[in-house]
Amino acid sequence: MSSDSRASELIGVAAEQWGLITSRQARTAVGATPQLLKRMADTGVLERVHHGLYRLARFPHDEHLDKRVAWVAMDPSRLAWERLDDEVPAGVLSHRTAANVHRVGDMDADVVELTATRRIRISVPDVTIHRGGLTRTDWQVVDGMPVTTAARMIGDLVAASTDAGHLASVVRDVLVRSLASTDDVVEALTDYAFGYGHRALDGQGFLDALIEQAGVPATIRDLAERANRADLAHPAAVSESAQFLPRPSNVPTSRKAVDGDRAWLGAEEPSVR
Given this model, what pLDDT does residue 65 score? 97
pLDDT higher than 90, residue 132: yes
- Same domain (yes/no): 108, 22: no
- Same domain (yes/no): 23, 135: no
User: pTM of the prediction?
Assistant: 0.81
CB 107 within 8 A of CB 166: yes
Would residue 160 count as lying in a domain?
yes
| Domain region containing 23 | 1-60
Neighbouring residues of 47: CB distance < 8 A, sequence distance ≥ 6: 41, 54, 55, 56, 57
Number of H helices, E strands in the chain: 12, 8
Given this model, what pLDDT does residue 19 score? 98
Beta bridge partners of residue 124, listed in sequence order: none
- Same domain (yes/no): 215, 96: yes
- Same domain (yes/no): 89, 224: yes
Over residues 197-219, the pLDDT tens digits come to: 999 999 999 999 999 999 866 66
- Same domain (yes/no): 161, 233: yes
Over residues 142-159, the pLDDT tens digits come to: 999 999 999 999 999 999
Distance in angstroms (rounded) separating the CA atoms of residues 181 and 171:
11
Helix (H) / strand (E) containing 112 = strand 112-116
Over residues 83-98, the pLDDT tens digits come to: 999 999 999 999 999 9
Given this model, what pLDDT does residue 3 score? 86
Q: How many domains does the chain have?
A: 2
pLDDT higher than 60, residue 11: yes
- Same domain (yes/no): 138, 39: no
- Same domain (yes/no): 204, 105: yes
Task: Identify the CA nearest to 148 among candidates 189, 98, 186, 109.
Answer: 98
- Same domain (yes/no): 128, 19: no
Distance in angstroms (rounded) separating the CA atoms of residues 174 and 201:
21
CATH number for 21: 1.10.10.10
- Based on its alpha-carbon atoms, the radius of gyration of the chain, rounded to whole angstroms, reads 21
